[in-house]
Structure 1
Amino acid sequence: MTQAKFFLIALICSFSWYVFPGYLFTTLTNISWICWIFSKSVTAQQIGSGMRGLGLGSFTLDWTAVASFLFSPLISPFFAIVNVFLGYVLIIYVAIPIAYWGLDLYGASKFPIFSSHLFTAQGQVYNITAIVNKKFELDVPRYEEQGRIHLSMFFALSYGFGFATIASTLTHVAVFYGREIYQRYRASNKGNEDIHTKLMRRYKDIPSWWFYVLLAMTLAVSLALCIFLNDQVQMPWWGLVFAAAMAFIFTLPISIITATTNQAKYVMGIIYPGRPIANVCFKTYGYMSMAQAVSFLSDFKLGHYMKIPPRSMFIVQFLGTVFAGTINLAVAWWLLTSVENICQDALLPANSPWTCPGDRVFFDASVIWGLVGPRRIFGSQGNYAAMNWFFFGGAIGPIIVWLLHKAFPKQTWIPLINLPVLLGATAMMPPATPLNYNSWILVGTIFNFFVFRYRKQWWQRYNYILSAALDAGVAFMAVLLYFSVGLEEKGITWWGTDGEHCQLASCPTAKGIVKDGCPLK
């Protein structure tokens, strides 16, 4: 079978199937069978819920749940999947149960086991609007009146392991790739070229001044925003310079080991607390620019191997960024003005697609790092100062692995222990859930180990084609469903469209904590 024919067949199958988890039988998206068996047990639903619990045994028959937050598992190498699996098990099925049920750290039983919301000491959702003044800055007296912010056990540990990932990324790159980076840098100065570079010489290279002019223009516009619209942006001009310097320093190690980091928000929250918009802007310039640089380099790497003219790549990237930014802004503005109660999950119907899990995490992060500030969360004025020890553990971890590799060079599996990947395994949680990770690991293992091992020729010929076809089929059906029944708000209501049936999974287990829909202990 030709690859084109296989792609078409797989696309049609994906397109046809998605009408079930996408509209007719939405429970197929999150099958948490433990909740069905133990319909009145809070603990059992906390363990079994794939959306609001630990997701033990939960799975999905919806490709969007497999590849929505994490990239397609069909294109991930098996050793990376194993590292993610080990880190996922360590965090979700070892660290969180011990901290929540065993030690009740930070009064964890007062809050849901898996939630990105912010809570008061009494287990109620924190009223953020009550601690913000007219300038959208922290009102300290009102904050002290309402009390410190508390996090769910998972949310707190996710930040701790995020700190460890930051530190381990730097030390891992230094000990495992430091010499290679230095050697390649020296080789580049000597002009040594591989066959791909020699073949690319037939095309005109990108003039350096293109990059310099673009950098100067963006910095000039950004500085103008910081100076003349400071009341709206909140970030001072020196914050922009600092963010650019941080992006310059971290781009190389992050490009070697891609990881989701929180260092930009942490640093700005310490230096300039009480201003959430400034913190978000600093993150955009300090981290998002770095992430986009990595994506830019990845595309150029592909173009280098596919022998695409560099100037064409640059122009396409530039125009694509302009169009994408404009369209995203227009769509976001349209949704915010046309969808009632968008992103307010407490005011939306149970099966609403407008709960915005990613934006909820972004909003809560702006409160933690910008409005309240890390000193009142992870510092001396907060409850979670011990989480800073994760920085130290993450820093020494790769050094220990490197020493073991040197001591036992014949054990080839030791250098495959990638601590930045392992510790950052759950970096996408939240908004990703255990359901997404369970399915991603399962599908990735099947296709990258069993299929590759026993059907290697098929894997080499069709694996990536299948991944693209599944994405395309889901996308086409999602658009069709939206314009045919979504705009008219015509839905189907029955057991199979009533979510995952784990209503008790978000209940606290501490005695005396009152929450609507939860049994009182």
Structure 2
Amino acid sequence: MLGIYYTNAWDAKSQPFMSTRLRSENGKPYPVAEVFTGGVLNQEALAKYGIPRLTGSFAYAMFMANAAIGALIAHCFLFWGGDVVRAYKSSREGRHDDRHHAHMAKHYKEAPWWWYIALLVLSFVLGLIVVTTQHITLPAWAYVVSLLLGIFIAPLSTLLYSRYGNGIATNNLSKMLAGLILPERPIGNMYFAAWSHNVISNAVNLSNDLKMGEYLKIPPRVMFLTQVYGTILGGFINYAVMISIVNGNRDLLVNSDGNSSWSGATLQSYNTNATSWALAKYLYKTGARYALVPIGLAIGFGMVAVHRVIAHFVPKIRNFSLYDVNLPQFIQYAGYIPYNASQTCVLFSQIIAGFFVQFYLRNYRPRIFKDYSYLVTGAFDGASLAALFILSFAVFGAGGPSVPFPKWWGNNVDGYYDLCPAPE
């Protein structure tokens, strides 16, 4: 990122560095609402306001995010393809290589397949009703394509998450494909990406729940019904909280990159991607930064292919196995900050927590690590979320006026705590 800025790559110095918003050529925010009337491109307005620009940091982040997607696809097929085939064959033969699953299969009734099929049909019909009645500029056939794309990526993301407890953001691929098949429709692009990405994210999260249910010996049918209940309840709660936050902080979220409490940058990056891909055929004529996105997919795939060849001939370096290297995650986090606009103090807190558990407890308190590490990390998670919920409504203005803490050198009340990105 420093190299991009100081070499002025993609005219990086002409735009506010690390901003995730779509920009005009003069560096000001791009008037998306005027250019897209009713969610469809207005050619006269485009001619008036010109082609939008991206900051150099955001273009780099888009490239790295797509390279990570290409690497994910390659890694799953080239490194784990054999494991998947063996697992599929053992399942077909009724063999259970996992003792937890074998215990559950022996003592509890599995949720019938028709339960899943019925839920799939119901969900598909509800989504189809939204697409055909709510004027979201997304045709029904594109809705089906978005689901098929999610169905293809979901097993790959689930496989990575099951191995590492972490995933790869794949919604950039959805937005790119939507921009190609639905040009000049940013709202349709966002809905396409949302449908596709939710197939992936829910597959990962619900599979995680099912596996946790096996560890805790929760009957599969009970877990299935609990997931349905939790998803429906969570949908209403998430909607209510989101509406409260957006209504209370609309100007901050829409007209800036956010502050230390509310990151409008993440929402703006979603909007920026959808809008820029809706203008893909115009943008490719103006600069190479947009061509970097599909190139990123190919480069990520190629890097993993080279890694696989090297690991085949040099499987270990001393005691370190090259098969343990996971390039998709290395690549993703090499471009993580400008794409997600994460405050570096947040990442620092995550590193401290990981260092405490994986270094201190593992090496110096092995009994606690072995018996209680899951409880310790669960306590971290639950306590931080509880504190965040209370602070959001009591201090940060989620449901009313905010009550900021006093300003001092460690509390930048006018922006991000780490002073980055700089105020515009």
TM over 0.5: yes
Task: Name the counterpart of 1:406.
Answer: 312
Are 2:327 and 1:419 equivalent residues in the alignment? Answer: yes
2:207 partner letter: L
- Choose from 414, 436, 439 the match for 2:346: 436
| 3-state DSSP of counterpart to 1:296 | helix
Contact 2:190 2:271 in 1 (8 A): no
Q: Are the equivalent residues in 2 in contact too, given 1:260–1:427 (CA < 8 A)?
A: no
Cα distance change of structure 1 residues 327 and 476 upon mapping to structure 2, 3 Å threshold: closer
Question: Aligned partner of 2:92: which letter?
Answer: N
Structure-1 separation of matches of 2:389 and 2:296: 43
| CA deviation after TM superposition for structure 1 residue 285, in Å | 1.6
Larger relative contact order (Cα-Cα within 8 Å, sequence gap ≥ 6): 1
Distance apart, 1:179 and its partner CA: 1.3
| 8 A Cα contact 2:19 2:55, kept in partner | yes
2:302 maps to 1:396 = yes
Inter-partner Cα distance in structure 1 for 2:59 and 2:217: 46
The amino acid of 1:196's aligned partner reads: H
The answer to whether the Cα contact below 8 Å between 1:150 and 1:383 also exists between their aligned partners in 2 is: no
* TM-fit CA distance, 1:464: 3.2
| Distance of aligned partners of 1:488 and 1:506 in 2 relative to their CA distance in 1, 3 Å threshold | closer
Q: CA deviation at 1:344?
A: 3.3
Rounded Cα–Cα distance in structure 1 between residues aligned with 2:401 and 2:129: 43
Task: Output the amino acid matched with 1:188.
Answer: S
Question: What is the aligned length?
Answer: 404
Is the alpha carbon distance of 1:477 and 1:332 closer, same or farther for their aligned partners in structure 2, counting shifts above 3 Å? Answer: closer
1:409–1:156 distance in 2 versus 1, CA, 3 Å? same
Letter in 1 for 2:19: S
The correspondence for 2:229, drawn from 319, 336, 341, is: 319
Paired amino acid for 1:223:
L
Distance 1:268 1:416 in 2: 34
CA contact (8 A) 2:136 2:191 kept: yes
Matches for 1:173-322 after TM superposition, within 5 Å: 173-194=76-97, 195-200=99-104, 201-229=106-134, 232-257=135-160, 258-261=167-170, 262-322=172-232
Amino acid at match of 2:128: L
User: Contact (CA 8 Å) 2:39, 2:185: kept in 1 or not?
Assistant: yes
Task: Verify the 8 A CA contact 2:345 2:417 in the aligned structure 1.
Answer: no
1:375–1:382 CA contact under 8 A, matched in 2? no
Instruction: Percent identity, please.
Output: 23
* Aligned partner of residue 343 in structure 1, secondary structure: helix
Structure 1 pair 337/287, CA: closer, same or farther in 2 (3 Å)?
closer
Seen in structure 2, the aligned counterparts of structure 1 residues 433 and 152 have a Cα distance that, compared at 3 Å, is farther
* Partner of residue 39, structure 1: none
> How far apart, in 2, do the equivalents of 1:155 and 1:484 lie?
33
Q: Distance in 2 between matches of 1:504 and 1:241?
A: 40
Q: Could you give the per-residue CA deviations for residues 463-511 of structure 1, whole angstroms, max 9, x where no partner exists?
A: 333333334334444454456555564445442544468769637xxxx
Q: Unaligned 5+ residue runs, structure 1?
A: 1-95, 508-515, 517-521
Q: What is the TM-score when the length of structure 2 is the normalising length? A: 0.86
2:264 maps to which residue?
356
Aligned partner letter, 2:3: I
Partners of 2:296 and 2:118 lie apart in 1 by: 40
1:196–1:305 contact (8 Å) kept in structure 2: yes
| Range with bigger deviation, 471-480 or 447-456 | 471-480
1:292 partner letter: N
**Mapped contact 1:336–1:342 kept (Cα < 8 A):** no
Give the match for residue 422 of structure 2.
Answer: 506
Q: Is structure 2 residue 5 aligned with structure 1 residue 97?
A: no
Q: Please list, as runs of the form range in 1=range in 2, the aligned pairs for 1:158-173 lying within 5 A after superposition.
A: 158-173=61-76
CA contact (8 A) 1:164 1:423 kept: yes
Q: What's the CA shift for 1:454?
A: 3.0
Q: How does 1:322-401 map to 2 (within 5 A)?
A: 322-339=232-249, 341-346=251-256, 353-370=261-278, 372=279, 374-377=280-283, 379-387=284-292, 388-401=294-307
Contact map agreement 2:12 2:55 (CA 8 A) in 1: yes
- Unmatched runs of 5 consecutive residues or more in structure 2: 161-166
Which shows bigger deviation, 161-170 or 357-366? 357-366
Structure having the higher Rg = 1
Q: TM-score normalized by structure 1?
A: 0.71
8 A Cα contact 1:341 1:347, kept in partner? no
* Distance 1:492-1:163 versus aligned 2 partners, 3 A rule: closer
* 431 and 484 in structure 1: CA distance in 2 versus 1, 3 angstrom threshold: closer
Offset of residue 282 of structure 1: 1.0
Q: Are the structure 2 counterparts of residues 275 and 490 from structure 1 closer, same or farther at C-alpha, using a change threshold of 3 Å?
A: same
2:13 is the alignment partner of 1:109: yes
The match for 1:132 among 36, 48, 52 is: 36
Tell me how far apart the structure 2 counterparts of residues 461 and 114 of structure 1 sit (CA, whole Å): 43
Contact 2:64 2:331 (8 Å CA) reproduced: yes
Q: Which residue of 2 aligns with 1:466?
A: 376
Q: Deviations over 1:39-86 (max 9, x none)?
A: xxxxxxxxxxxxxxxxxxxxxxxxxxxxxxxxxxxxxxxxxxxxxxxx
Give the CA deviation at 1:278: 1.2
